[in-house]
Copies of this chain bind each other. A is one copy, B any other.
């Protein structure tokens, strides 16, 4: 796993040849238990690193498409799987493996230790009717599963128009996030921003109309 500018935050990536970008998973190491967000499959070596860093207590998904190997990962590490309530239907039979469903704007719908530290924002009008953007307060990291990404390294982009259900709603959902202090933009798709991330996000918002 890659270390980052934020000491207790790690990421790992799988390059997607058809999309010409990386898909990323994230690990936040913290005393009350480690959190994985939208994990990509892990190699045996990465599983070893994860064990050395204290294993996994929770796996949080921002949407159903990011389920991947999360169920077997949770089984291996004895972790709980949490997913957005708004996505429950899309999980179908996989819903059985989900330990809890969290809701945007309701930290109390998360495990208590996570609810203290995470803010759950809803983005409307993306690929799914409601997409989740997670904000990890102690490390000031804002995480987007799909709707905000980087097709080109160094550029922030919206998901392409044909994939958005309502561009106006997406932009209206993103604007309030401008008030967050941001040290890292964690993107499921494309290279993340760890340097001047807040400036990058504000510049990006300014380009949207």
Contact of A195 (CB < 8 Å), options: B11, B22, B45, B154: B154
A188 nearest CB across to chain B (Å): 15
Contacting pair A5 B152 (CB below 8 A): yes
| Cβ B17 vs Cβ A15 within 8 A | no
Q: Any chain B CB within 8 A of the CB of A155? A: yes
The CB with the most chain B CB atoms within 10 A, among A2, A11, A45, is that of A2
Please give the number of chain A residues whose Cβ is less than 8 angstroms from any Cβ of chain B in the complex.
Answer: 31
Residues of chain B with a CB closer than 8 A to A191's CB: 2, 191, 194
Number of copies: 2
In the complex, what's the smallest C-beta–C-beta distance from A196 to chain B, in angstroms? 4
A1 lies within 8 A of chain B by Cβ? yes
A43-82 CB contact bits vs B (8 Å, 1 = yes)?
A: 1011000000000000000000000000000000000000
A128 and B45 CA atoms in complex are apart in Å by 31
B5 in contact with A155 (CB, 8 Å): yes
The smallest beta-carbon distance between A42 and chain B, in angstroms, is 11
Closest to A44 in B: B17
What's the Cα separation between A11 and B150 when bound, in Å?
14
Q: Roughly how many angstroms separate A195 CA and B1 CA in the complex, as a whole number?
A: 22
Asked if B45 and A21 sit within 8 Å, CB to CB, the answer is no
Extra contacts, 4 of them, besides A11-B153, A13-B15, A17-B45 (Cβ < 8 A), are: A1-B20, A6-B154, A191-B194, A196-B199
Q: Ordered nearest first, which 6 A-B pairs have the shortest CB separation?
A: A154-B194, A5-B154, A3-B152, A4-B153, A196-B196, A154-B195
26 residue pairs from A and B, CB less than 8 Å apart? A2-B15, A2-B21, A2-B152, A2-B191, A3-B151, A3-B153, A4-B153, A4-B154, A5-B153, A5-B154, A5-B155, A6-B154, A11-B153, A17-B43, A17-B45, A17-B46, A153-B192, A153-B194, A154-B193, A154-B195, A191-B191, A193-B195, A195-B195, A195-B196, A196-B196, A196-B200
Interface residue ranges, A against B (CB under 8 Å): 1-6, 11-13, 15, 17, 20-22, 43, 45-46, 151-155, 184, 191-196, 199-200
